[in-house]
Amino acid sequence: MHNDLKLENHDLRLNGGPLLSGLGDGTSVVADPDGIGVFLRFAAETPAARHVFPAGSLDGIGRFTCCHRYEPFWMTAKAGTRGGDVPPETQYLLAEREDGVCVLFVPLLDGAFRASLQGSGETGLELVAETGDPAVVGKEVVGLFVAAGPDPYALMERGARSVMHRLGTGRLRREKPLPHFVDLFGWCTWDAFYQEVSQDKVRTGLESFAEGGVTPKLLILDDGWQSVAQQASGEKRLTAFAANEKFRGDLAPTVAMSKNEFGIEAFLVWHAFQGYWGGVDGDALPGYGVRPIARDASPGIRHHRPDVDKWWGPVIGVVAPEHVYRFYQDYHRHLRQQGVDGVKVDNQAALETTAAGFGLGRVGLMRAYHEALEGSAQTQFRGALINCMSCANEMLYSALNSTVTRTSTDFWPKKPETHGLHLYVNAQVSAWFGEFVHPDWDMFQSGHEMGAYHAAGRAVSGAPVYVSDKPGAHDFDLLRKLVLPDGTVLRCADPGRPTRDCLFHDVTREPVLLKIFNRNEASGVVGVFNARYGVEVAETPPVTGALRPADVEGLEGEQFAVYAHHARTLRVQGRDEAQEVTLPQLACEVFTVAPVEDGVAPIGLADRFNSGGAVVFAGRDEHGVYEVILQAGGRFLAWCERRPVRLTVDGEDTPFAYDEATRALEVAVPDDDTLPVLRLYWGA
């Protein structure tokens, strides 16, 4: 780890060479107790609620990637070559120097301030620190973490520990338990019905899944169920905790029907952070100190979205922070009594636009709200919570117990230019912010023309897998590539991240394949995507790249069996040996990468996208017999150096196929309620 960072004569130097030159007079270094990087303190002459500090000229870089907000709720990714190209509201920046060293820049929280980066001139950077409340002011902020090293993935993992050690505001993803619903195949009502959802439509949707034999175990009842009323100022506000007239008898009959008739195990409902898009109606729901507050987004957000303060109405009814804990407890207690198991809480980052007047600043207001939300979700729903529209760093670094967090804007069925961008953004956001929260890559529609593309993306994402299919518009064959007979999904172990060779490229604009890697118990997986889409021309040309086993960071071994899901090819590659991949516009391939050990490499259930995710265990048992334990039955595939003389499934001799040319072993494993156990024998 290259951590020799020193401030000398207004320059931050890395290993003696310039990194940030021309820092302001008020800049000083705060040591990192973990020894990974340094923290920079910026000081102004007079107190203010918003400061723009010079953060120096970014020297000696070849390329950078960053994630910036373009509205309060979401981030997108950008690649570039100069510091001046860094967009306003950048919340994470990773640069690759010309010498190959990677440098991480992380704007921080400090007291009432939150920080972001933006470019200045040709190569300069600026640090913007703001409280969101004109009455909450300060003169200085420890606003930027900087660290460097040759391995960007190790750098981000170690850097995240240093950042959270310094902030003390939240917990790392690895320190927080995942709610049980993340492994259940889900259905969300949003794209199916939008706000016209009703109890009858929920039934129709569940009946449609049942007819195809792939039934969800998780249901998310999205926007459209709440009791709301439009205000004179134009926005709609929450008027009651009970459901509206489309749900006869409140939510209890719908929840009971979903669970008792269709096997739903986790029933989640949507609501906004502030109750509804326009907040809470204080007359209809008295006792929570509701105040009408005009939205006021920060200059950085207005740079990207000048009209953002007009969305959903210019005024919002805000529950006072001293009452928000009781508000959530009352609301969620009512939902739990209806049989609801958890909540998806949307519109979170809009809170920053209403911070003025509470005396806490946007950081303190978010902390008050999120601690109340998490406390209620923990009490009423055992932590079953999805954070949504919440990609502001004051939330991402302050989530103490909640972890599942949407990391991109929605799946847009009617915007073909968004499909490659969707996967690119989620993978890039996951690279850094996946150290703090567990990314959720959003729903998709299996019957959509891009359904297979998105399904492959979800298979390598490590995220929950849920669809928003309209009744009768399913691709059940595609869903079976993701979902096991028991309604669970083959979810990878970690957040899906871009491979090293595409990490610093905008794969939606450059002729570079998007490659997303992940890990399973005994193997790796790489999703390869052509993420480009022709806007000015009818179609972009095919893109060619390479697949190497080394693309799966941290996967040990020297020889690997590599299986291509669509091409149905199986080959052996060395760690750095390349397999050429060419994909046309918005096409994809999924590769399972299994280390060869003892002459065997188990691919897993080959008819699933994440075939290796089905392998629970692979290796020699206590008697020296090679054993594979699977999560379910199906077409099992493995590379075997030699043909076995015998194969058993759950102790029964079972016929198998073996190809002497490719050394591929295949066997049909029956589906039942147990974990199938395969044993391969080469001796007597």
Q: What is the DSSP string of 118-185?
A: EEETTTEEEEEEE-S-TT--EEEEEEEEEEEES-HHHHHHHHHHHHHHHH-SS--GGGSPPPGGGGB-
**Alpha carbons within 13 A on the beta-carbon side of 484:** 24
Q: For residue 568, report the phi and psi dihedrals to the nearest 5 degrees.
A: 60, 40
Please state the three-class secondary structure of 571-603 as a single string.
EEEECCCCEEEEECCCCEEEEEEEECECCEEEE
Angle (deg, nearest 10), helices 451-459 and 419-433: 10
pLDDT value of position 534: 79
Burial of 369 (0-12, 13-18, 19+ CB in 10 A): buried
pLDDT value of position 674: 83
Beta bridge partners of 560: 573, 595
pLDDT value of position 132: 97
pLDDT value of position 233: 87
286 has a pLDDT exceeding 90: yes
pLDDT value of position 299: 96
Q: Where are the beta strands (DSSP E) in 382-461?
A: 385-387, 404-406, 438-440
User: Are 661 and 569 spatial neighbours (Cβ–Cβ below 8 Å)?
Assistant: no
Residues 169-194 have a mean pLDDT of: 97
Rounded CA-CA distance 151/265 in Å is: 41
User: Are 305 and 348 spatial neighbours (Cβ–Cβ below 8 Å)?
Assistant: no
Q: For residue 350, report the phi and psi dihedrals to the nearest 5 degrees.
A: -65, -20
pLDDT value of position 684: 56
* Alpha-helical segments (H) within 296-418: 299-304, 324-337, 361-381, 393-396
**Alpha carbons within 13 A on the beta-carbon side of 661:** 1
Q: For residue 310, report the phi and psi dihedrals to the nearest 5 degrees.
A: -95, -10
CA dist 231 to 284, 287, 324, Å? 12, 19, 21
Q: What is the tens place of the pLDDT at every residue in 493-548?
A: 999 999 999 999 999 999 999 999 999 999 999 999 999 997 666 689 999 999 99
User: Are 683 and 654 spatial neighbours (Cβ–Cβ below 8 Å)?
Assistant: no
Rounded CA-CA distance 178/648 in Å is: 35
> Mean pLDDT for the chain?
96
Q: What is the tens place of the pLDDT at every residue in 45-69?
A: 999 999 999 999 999 999 999 999 9
Residues 569-597 have a mean pLDDT of: 98
Residues 2-18 have a mean pLDDT of: 88
Rounded CA-CA distance 527/644 in Å is: 31
Architecture of the structural domain at 503-681: Sandwich (2.60)
Question: Do 503-681 and 180-406 have the same topology in CATH?
Answer: no
pLDDT value of position 538: 67
Please state the three-class secondary structure of 189-217 as a single string.
CHHHHHHHCCHHHHHHHHHHHHHHCCCCC
Q: What is the tens place of the pLDDT at every residue in 131-143?
A: 999 999 999 999 9
Of 590, 589, 615, 610, give the one whose Cα is nearest residue 600. Answer: 615
Rounded CA-CA distance 439/294 in Å is: 31
User: Are 603 and 592 spatial neighbours (Cβ–Cβ below 8 Å)?
Assistant: yes
What b/e string do you get for 493-513 counting C-beta neighbours within 10 Å, with b at 16 or more? Answer: ebbbbbbbebbbbbbbeeebb
pLDDT value of position 3: 62
First to last CA, the chain: 51
Please state the three-class secondary structure of 21-45 as a single string.
ECCCCCEEEEECCCCCEEEEEEEEE
Residue boundaries of the structural domains of the chain: 5-168, 180-406, 503-681
Burial of 29 (0-12, 13-18, 19+ CB in 10 A): middle
Beta bridge partners of 90: 68, 117
* Alpha-helical segments (H) within 338-360: none
Specify the fold of 180-406. TIM Barrel (3.20.20)
603 has a pLDDT exceeding 50: yes
Percent of the chain past pLDDT 90, that is, above it, reads: 95
pLDDT value of position 586: 96
pLDDT value of position 683: 80
User: Are 177 and 383 spatial neighbours (Cβ–Cβ below 8 Å)?
Assistant: yes
Q: What is the tens place of the pLDDT at every residue in 70-117?
A: 999 999 999 999 999 999 999 999 999 999 999 999 999 999 999 999
Helix, strand or coil, per DSSP, at residue 491 = coil
pLDDT value of position 510: 96
1 has a pLDDT exceeding 50: no
pLDDT band at 401 (very low <50, low <70, confident <90, very high): very high
CB atoms within 10 A of CB 652: 8
For the four alpha carbons of 409, 414, 418 and 422, in that order, the dihedral sign comes to positive
Contacts of residue 99, defined as CB under 8 A and 6 or more positions apart, other chains included, come to: 60
Rounded CA-CA distance 498/516 in Å is: 5
Contacts of residue 355, defined as CB under 8 A and 6 or more positions apart, other chains included, come to: 131, 132, 133, 361, 362, 365
